[in-house]
Amino acid sequence: MNAIEVKNLEVVYPEFTLDKIEFNVPSGSIVGFVGENGAGKTTTIKAILNLISHAKGSVSIYGLDNQEQELAIKKQIGVVLDDAFFYEDFTTKEIATVLVKMYHNWDQPYFNELLKAHGITESKVLKELSKGMKAKVKIFAALAHHPRLLILDEPTTGLDPVSRDEILDIFYDFIEEDKAILFSSHITSDIEKIADSVIFIDRGKIVLTTDQAEFQEDFGIAKLTASQLADIGEIDYLYRLKTAISTQYLISNRRMFLKEYPDIVVEKATIEATLLMIKKGEVR
pLDDT in tens, 111-138: 999 999 989 988 888 888 888 888 899 9
Average of per-residue pLDDT across 175-186: 91
pLDDT > 80? residue 85 = no
Average of per-residue pLDDT across 149-154: 95
Per residue in 199-221, pLDDT (tens digit) is 999 999 999 999 999 999 999 99
DSSP letter, residue 125: B
Contact yes or no for 57/8 (Cβ under 8 A): yes
Average of per-residue pLDDT across 218-242: 90
> pLDDT value at position 223?
92
Average of per-residue pLDDT across 56-63: 95
Higher-confidence residue: 55 or 71?
71
Q: Cα-Cα-Cα-Cα dihedral of 26, 32, 34, 38, to 10°? A: 70
- pTM for this entry: 0.93
Per residue in 43-53, pLDDT (tens digit) is 999 999 999 87
Distances from the Cα of 50 to the Cα of 4, 47, 57, 69, 181, angstroms:
13, 5, 12, 10, 18
Distance of CA 234 to the CA centre of its chain: 34
Lowest mean pLDDT among 37-41, 115-119, 181-185, 226-230: 226-230
Contact yes or no for 93/123 (Cβ under 8 A): yes
> pLDDT value at position 231?
87
Q: What is the rounded radius of gyration, in angstroms, for the C-alpha atoms of the chain?
A: 21
Domains recognised in the chain with CATH numbers: 2-214 (3.40.50.300), 219-283 (no CATH)
Higher-confidence residue: 284 or 254?
254
pLDDT tier at 84, thresholds 50, 70, 90: low
List b or e across 228-237, with b for residues whose CB sees 16 or more CB atoms inside 10 angstroms: beeeeeebeb
